[in-house]
Structure 1
Amino acid sequence: MVSKHLHQAIGLTLLIAAFGVGAAERDRRWAKRLQVKGAGNVYKVSDALYRSAQPSAEGFVTFKKLGIRTVVNLRSFHSDRKKIGDTGLGYEHIYMKAWHAEDKEVVRFLQIVTDPRRQPVLVHCQHGSDRTGTMCAIYRVAVQSWTKAEAIREMKEGGYGFHKVFVNLERYIRKLDVKAIKKRAGLE
């Protein structure tokens, strides 16, 4: 009888320990998850910037009600114009490829997201993971003065679904000349 209770206690202890492994507390500076009807993978990065996967027409209406002013679509082959319709949301389309980020895309994104007249801004791609994660990481570095390592860690480990196959995006951030990009975007 004692043996049975001892085994149960050990089993319970191991179970608790197993769930605790890898469940380190999320960095408080990382984006905050939101539930938004009509959109997935939604997070508030800052008061000026939100991120998500591709919203539906209903999602754009919901974002407008939440106070979003501008939508930045990073998808190369998909427009949001019909889904946004007459919501009154501003719309910018930056044709970004997940396999090849370019400085001109980053400059344009930073110009939009730092313009107080356009804030708050919602940035999205299909999954809200890779292209969106890259732009949010660059925002963290260029606008919020995070280190590249801190921003990359959030991009990869923040729970946004970053796909490891896109090592090129991490490499792009690591090699990015932040001072030059900020200058081109009019931030310096």
Structure 2
Amino acid sequence: MTEPIEHSDRRGMWPWIFLLLATLPAVWSILVYEHDVDPEFPRVERQTYNTYPPAAYRLAEAGDTIDCVAVYISSAALVLSAWGCARDPRNRLRYAALALSLTAFWHASTPGPLLDGWYGLGWRTIFDDRAPSIQRVTLGLSALALVVIVGLAARPWEFRSLIALAKSRNVLALMAVAAVLIVLRQTPWIDREPFGYWPRWVYVWGVLAWALAMLRLAPEAPVRRRGAFVAVALIAVSLGLDVLGRGLFWYQRPIGRLKEIIPGRLYLSAMPTYAGLKLAQPRYQFKTIINLFPEFTSQGSPHWPDEQAFARENGIACYTQPPEDPTGIDSIPRTLALADDPANWPVLVHCHASMDRSPAWVGMYRFASMGWPLAEAVKEIERHRGSRPKSSVTLLYNRMLPRLAADRWAQDPTARLFRKNAEGTPDPLEQMLARSRRDSTQR
């Protein structure tokens, strides 16, 4: 009698081992810093300015890696719940589990808070008076329907029998952990630096505990060929749900890496598509778009003509770096002035991936136009990129910031460090400017 019990106990531990292993990426990302060398300018030193590794801040973004994992897991839980209903249609508790899994999938696919100023499609929008009434009512009725289904199917007044049933199926502890973690994710006090990081991980662990409980409760699949067909079908449905979840991500943030830098005034993003702009424009009412990528080069974006077309159709001023200014020595001050003029607000600033040019531009705007210390501006770049700024940003700042804010540059301690970091590394664009000045003098 003893051996089978011990074997069963060991086998019953695997969900907890799985949950424990799922915490390791979160711990790793919060402890391990970058120490790589930039191959473009390997002699330029780069420090980390934030309290935690830059990658942790990137992971904390709504709709990024952690939220994608939550969608994968909640999709699997939803499929397992639906499979239980299909195989055991008379069991009312199966429908309660299905409604709860659908709720988990909805919350995973509409993560918040967003960083772009829009209210989104999550449950909090029900109570957000900025959202249209029809949207709030629709979301409220959907939430109410899920609550009613769970209430009627689970019958909370039979609480003791439900507990006994869950305990007999060896899922009570998993369900309890899932409930605690999912509720904990909704509480604001859990959100510590990096902003959004721990709530998103807590939700992943919560939906994982729920999915493991659904896996334990799932009816057995048919054997042989039919069983293989069912398995493939369930996986296909799960992948389809993942596509749906990513579609909701896109609807909430139709322009890649969109962030609100100054509410109603300045926004930062990656290269937008025509469809993305069409969806985003009613929300933000952009008056000006500044494209920082030199689109006149062979690396120009295929979306650039679409962006120009959308700007023309909607009366948006659209600016990009001109071919006659390859160094940006004139266009950078010009774009900073454009962003400072209230007549141009709201302004959308972007490059292609929003990893180098546009966040570096925002750092210059923070320092030269808003008076931020350089260290704070670099911290914001790190958080947006999820990585330290490239060495070229050090050279860019050493080249441009003395021209934009000479006095502040001379007194800023981080500026002194930037100059020291670049010692022994010539700036190719500064050399280009020197040649241009020399040629102009000779003419």
Residue type matched to 1:82 in 2? A
Change over 3 Å in CA distance of 1:41–1:101 after alignment to 2:
farther
Give the match for residue 259 of structure 2: 43
Give the match for residue 26 of structure 2: 19
Contact 1:56/1:83, CA 8 A, preserved across alignment = no
Cα distance in 2 for partners of 1:53, 1:181 equals 32
SS where residue 115 of structure 2 aligns? Answer: strand
Contact 2:367/2:377, CA 8 A, preserved across alignment = yes
SS where residue 55 of structure 1 aligns? Answer: coil
Give the match for residue 111 of structure 1: 337
Residues 127-185 of structure 1: per-residue CA shift (max 9 Å, x gap): 11211011111111122222112212321x21435686x41123222452142499xxx
SS where residue 372 of structure 2 aligns? Answer: coil
SS where residue 152 of structure 1 aligns? Answer: helix
Instruction: Looking at secondary structure, tell me which structure has more strand per residue.
Output: 1
Return the offset for 1:114.
0.5
Contact 1:45/1:51, CA 8 A, preserved across alignment = yes
Residue type matched to 1:123 in 2? V
Larger radius of gyration: 2
Contact 1:68/1:122, CA 8 A, preserved across alignment = yes
Residue type matched to 1:158 in 2? R
Give the match for residue 140 of structure 1: 366
Return the offset for 1:88.
2.0
TM-score (normalised: structure 2): 0.34
Q: Are positions 1:33 and 2:115 aligned together?
A: yes
Cα distance in 2 for partners of 1:181, 1:112 equals 22
Contact 2:321/2:328, CA 8 A, preserved across alignment = no
Cα distance in 2 for partners of 1:119, 1:9 equals 52
Give the match for residue 88 of structure 1: 315
Q: Quick one: which of 343, 346, 350 aligns to 1:120?
A: 346
Q: CA RMSD in A?
A: 3.5
Instruction: Looking at secondary structure, tell me which structure has more helix per residue.
Output: 2
Residue type matched to 2:275 in 1? E
Q: Quick one: which of 173, 179, 183 aligns to 2:405?
A: 179
- Stretches of structure 1 lacking an aligned partner (at least 5 in a row): 27-31, 183-188
Q: Are positions 1:168 and 2:175 aligned together?
A: no
Q: Are positions 1:58 and 2:65 aligned together?
A: no
Q: Quick one: which of 290, 293, 296 aligns to 1:75?
A: 293
Return the offset for 1:36.
2.6
Change over 3 Å in CA distance of 1:135–1:101 after alignment to 2:
farther
Q: Are positions 1:158 and 2:376 aligned together?
A: no
Q: Are positions 1:149 and 2:366 aligned together?
A: no
TM-score (normalised: structure 1): 0.71
SS where residue 91 of structure 1 aligns? Answer: strand
Cα distance in 1 for partners of 2:316, 2:407 equals 27
Cα distance in 1 for partners of 2:27, 2:370 equals 31
Q: Percent identity between the aligned chains?
A: 23
Change over 3 Å in CA distance of 1:162–1:53 after alignment to 2:
farther
Cα distance in 2 for partners of 1:17, 1:161 equals 19
Cα distance in 2 for partners of 1:22, 1:95 equals 40
Change over 3 Å in CA distance of 1:94–1:162 after alignment to 2:
farther
Change over 3 Å in CA distance of 1:51–1:126 after alignment to 2:
same
Cα distance in 2 for partners of 1:101, 1:153 equals 25
SS where residue 276 of structure 2 aligns? Answer: helix
SS where residue 45 of structure 1 aligns? Answer: strand
Contact 2:359/2:384, CA 8 A, preserved across alignment = no
Give the match for residue 185 of structure 1: none
Contact 1:130/1:163, CA 8 A, preserved across alignment = no
Residues 92-149 of structure 1: per-residue CA shift (max 9 Å, x gap): 12249xxx75332220111110000101100111111211011111111122222112
Change over 3 Å in CA distance of 1:18–1:46 after alignment to 2:
same
